[in-house]
Structure formats: structure tokens, C-alpha cells
Structure 1
Amino acid sequence: MEKIPNMRRFVTWLAAALIGFSSPVLAEDHPVVVELFTSQGCSSCPAADAYLATLADREDVIALALHVDYWDYIGWKDVFADPRFTKRQKAYAIAAHRHSVYTPQMIVNGVEHVVGNHPVDVAALIAKHAKTRHPISLALKEQAGVLSISASSDQVMPTPVIVQLVRYVPEREVAIHAGENAGKKLIYSNIVTEWHRLGDWDTNGPFNLQTQVQGDEPIVVIVQAPGPGPIIASARLR
């Protein structure tokens, strides 16, 4: 969510040239990105959290749990909550001309808004977006703490697209001692810990970027229209 001053300039190289690469993850598989906005202080959320866990291991889905902070006041502070994720959810609501936000909510590929504990509806939207044609090809490679991102598009987008880096923790168990879920011990999956805006790409030519990454958390790169709008490409290393 970090801002880049000039939206239309190409992203410059951020690290030294790579010496050898791991096998790339390619966006030809076009995983569908499912963002779950959730909270440990929400009694309706555990069912959605459990459903997200079933999506977490799928290769055709990138499931991401973004814990919001606006339920912290009712007795339990979510240990994963980040105000930036609340801001992202509100931005989605504004882009969709909605007047409020709620949990649990899932956003599928940046455009579909659905109640997070309605798995049949979510599954239908995943299937729908799995069939969507994607104009952008995206590849990731990582070696010795350096991530290489390359992308190309077979058409020029009407506005520059945003390239974002996401990291997440695959699983954590939390004992809830207060609030609506008091007394429960809950398991959370794919907990987002970082969401960075790497730069903007006008799609007139190839996109190439190298950046430092630390730690063993899975790496996700998302290419998205501004707004936030539709997710046009995504890829993951884990």
C-alpha cells in the first residue's frame, strides 16, 4: 500500500542481477485471488476462516486473510489486525459504490463482493473467474533473497496497472479470551502480514523488476487495476 510518486513511469531495477534462479511460477495457471476480510472479534467469522483454510492449499486459488481492526473495540483486539487492511476494504466499498463494510466478506479477483461464510456462492465465483481470459503473463523467480518479477501484456490497458507484493503466514492458532469468540481456540490460514505497492506499469512494454525479500513466508505478486479494481494477473512462490 505504499505510494509511488509517478504512476506512469516504468519501474527501475532495485537489486543486482541474479546468479541462477529457482523454477518460475507462471501466471498461465491464472490462480483466482480470494481476499477474506475477517476479525477475531466477529462471531460470524470462524466459519469463513475455516472455509478459507479449504482454499489455502489449492493451486488454482490464492486465498488471503486480511484481518481488520474495526471490531477491536468490542472486547478483543485481533492480534493480526492492520488498519491498512481496513483501508483496503473501505476502498473496495467506495469503488463498488457501497456505503458500508462488514465481516466476513470475500472479494474475488478484485470485483466480486460476497459474504465470506457462503461457500457455495464463493465457489461459483471462483469457477467463473477461472474461465476468464487474462491478457497479462506473469512470472516470478527467487534466489538468495532476491525476487525477480517479469510480465508482459498482449494488449495495452486503459490505465496503468498496479504491481503489488504480498506476504502471508500459512497458519496460526490463537486462543481467544474475550469478545464474541471468547473461550474458542481458532486456526487461521494465509494471514497477510505485508502488502506493498511496488510500482505502476503502463503495459506498453514488458515489466521487469528485482526486489529484496526476506524470510520464508510465501510470496504473492498481484497485478491490479487502480480503484482497487479487477485483478488482472497473479502468481505465487511458496
Structure 2
Amino acid sequence: MLSRRILWGLSLSLTLASPVFAGEFKLAPKAVLELFTSQGCSSCPKADALFKEMGKRSDVVTLAYHVDYWDYIGWPDTFGTAENSDRQRDYAEAWGSSRIFTPQMVVNGRGGVVGSKTAAVNGALASATLPLTVSLTEQQGGLVDISVPANADLSGGTIWLITFLDHADVTIERGENEGKQISYSQIVTGRQVLGMWDPKTGAKLTLPLHEVLTGKANGAVILVQQEKAGLPGPILGAASFTL
């Protein structure tokens, strides 16, 4: 059963099977904030801490992608994957850039800023908006209904399921952050396509939680994102829950 520890990406209609709590949340978050970070990067701990604070905001959904391209300097990131590094490279290519770096925060898939610079992150968030409402309704049997309305003013997008671990403390034993214990949040553990969003008809899906939250994952984001020539484009809407 979903608890009250819920971060909602856009609009959530939640009905619990238990009579203890039932209600509707419409917090209208305006941004999905993606952090590209590495445990082997000396500039990243400040960004990791800022990212954790941003995750406390009701108007922001956060996802941390740990990359693997700094592993060679002495400490393999315990959460790093080649797929996460590829996602960052795909963003750079979509924006016409050949440069990737850590720490980087990406706002709504539209652009990136240095993730340790508070003013830059706040500036990028200030004008951020998400045009689509993603609604989630919990049903009996561990099922969650996903609903995304039609919007003929937009072009279509892909509906993604992104699982995450909401918290982990890691002691870095080697490399640039040797000896530090760093607190990480919203650590991406997997990504998969759920379906397509049609701007004329919208989309409705049902998700079995017990088949989704496997391994260390204890939360997930439902995210609608456009693509351009196979590369990630603007994020249109999202919803997030944590068990």
C-alpha cells in the first residue's frame, strides 16, 4: 500500500484500499530535475546535497542518474551504469553538444546547468512548466491505474517507468572523494517503456506494483517524454510515488 510519503510529479488522484486515508493531491509540480552525478567526482557532493534539498519541494520530481565514465580514476560508482552515461550523451547530442560533465542537472529535458550552482539550478526551475497532467489511482491487489489526458496542442510522446531507490549512504574508499560518506537520493535503478501517449486520445494503463518495484527500488516515476530523431526531447508530464 502506498504511504503518505509520496512525491507527486504533476497531479495525483489516489484511492487507498484501506479506510485509514483517502484523498486527492493536486500539487501541480512544474519540473522533472535529472541529476547526472558520480561518486568519483570531487565536484559532485555539493550537487548531491543540493539535489536532495530540491527533492523536498512539492513542485519538483527528482531523478539521479549515476554515470560510469569516472570509474577509471579510482572508485567505481556503486550505482553507475553505462545506460545512465548514454542518456546524458543522448541529451548532449539532442542539444547539439559534444560535451558531457558532472555534476549536471537537466530540467524537463530541455537544457542542463552545472548541478552544484544553486543560482543556476533555481534560475532554470523558475520558468519551468509541465503541460500534461499524469494521474495515478491505486486499486486493490497492488495495481495502479495511470491516466494521461489528450492534448491536441502537443505532439506524441513515450510513457516511461523509471524506478528508483529514495536514499542510500555510501562511504567512498578510494578516488577523489576518498574517506567521505555521502548521502544520495532518488537513485535511478531502471528504465522501461510502458507505452505511447497519443495527443488525440490520451493514454490509460494499469501497473502491477509487485512486478515493478523489484530489487532495491522503493519508488517509481511515470514520465511522458517526447523524442527527436531517437534522442530525448522535452518532458511533458510526470508522477512519482515512494512506498
Smaller-chain TM-score bracket: 0.7 to 0.9
One-letter code aligned to 1:78:
D
Distance in 1, matches of 2:145 and 2:238, equals: 14
Task: State which of 167, 171, 194 in structure 2 corresponds to 1:171.
Answer: 167
Aligned partner of 1:6 in structure 2 is none
2:126 matched to 1:127? yes
The SS at the match of 1:174 is strand
Number of corresponding residues: 216
Aligned partner of 2:237 in structure 1 is 233
Contact 2:130/2:235 (8 A) holds in 1: no
- Rate the CA distance shift 1:24–1:149 in 2: closer, same or farther, 3 A: farther
Contact 2:16/2:138 (8 A) holds in 1: no
Aligned partner of 1:219 in structure 2 is 220
Task: State which of 125, 130, 136 in structure 2 corresponds to 1:140.
Answer: 136
Distance in 1, matches of 2:195 and 2:72, equals: 35
Distance in 2, matches of 1:152 and 1:61, equals: 20
1:116-171 deviation per Cα after TM superposition (whole angstroms, max 9, x unaligned): 00111101111210xx361x22201234332211111232533x201011121111
One-letter code aligned to 1:220:
V
Aligned partner of 1:190 in structure 2 is 186
1:32-63 deviation per Cα after TM superposition (whole angstroms, max 9, x unaligned): 10000000011110000010010112111111
Following superposition, the deviation at residue 113 of structure 1 comes to 1.0
Aligned partner of 2:3 in structure 1 is none
Distance in 2, matches of 1:33 and 1:41, equals: 25
Aligned partner of 1:96 in structure 2 is 95
Q: What does 1:43-82 correspond to in 2, within 5 Å? A: 43-82=42-81
Following superposition, the deviation at residue 31 of structure 1 comes to 3.6
RMSD: 2.1
Contact 1:32/1:126 (8 A) holds in 2: yes
The SS at the match of 1:180 is coil
Following superposition, the deviation at residue 106 of structure 1 comes to 0.6
The unaligned stretches of length 5 or more in structure 2 are: 1-14
- Rate the CA distance shift 1:23–1:210 in 2: closer, same or farther, 3 A: farther
Following superposition, the deviation at residue 25 of structure 1 comes to 5.4
- Rate the CA distance shift 1:163–1:73 in 2: closer, same or farther, 3 A: same
The SS at the match of 1:29 is coil
Identity %: 38
Contact 1:30/1:235 (8 A) holds in 2: no
One-letter code aligned to 2:238:
S
- Rate the CA distance shift 1:89–1:133 in 2: closer, same or farther, 3 A: closer
The SS at the match of 1:70 is coil
Q: Which aligned segments of 4 or more residues in structure 1 are displaced greater than 4 angstroms?
A: 18-26
One-letter code aligned to 2:56:
D
Distance in 1, matches of 2:153 and 2:189, equals: 32
Distance in 2, matches of 1:199 and 1:230, equals: 17
1:86-117 deviation per Cα after TM superposition (whole angstroms, max 9, x unaligned): 11111101100101211101100100210000
Contact 1:31/1:234 (8 A) holds in 2: no
Distance in 1, matches of 2:60 and 2:202, equals: 25
One-letter code aligned to 2:150:
S
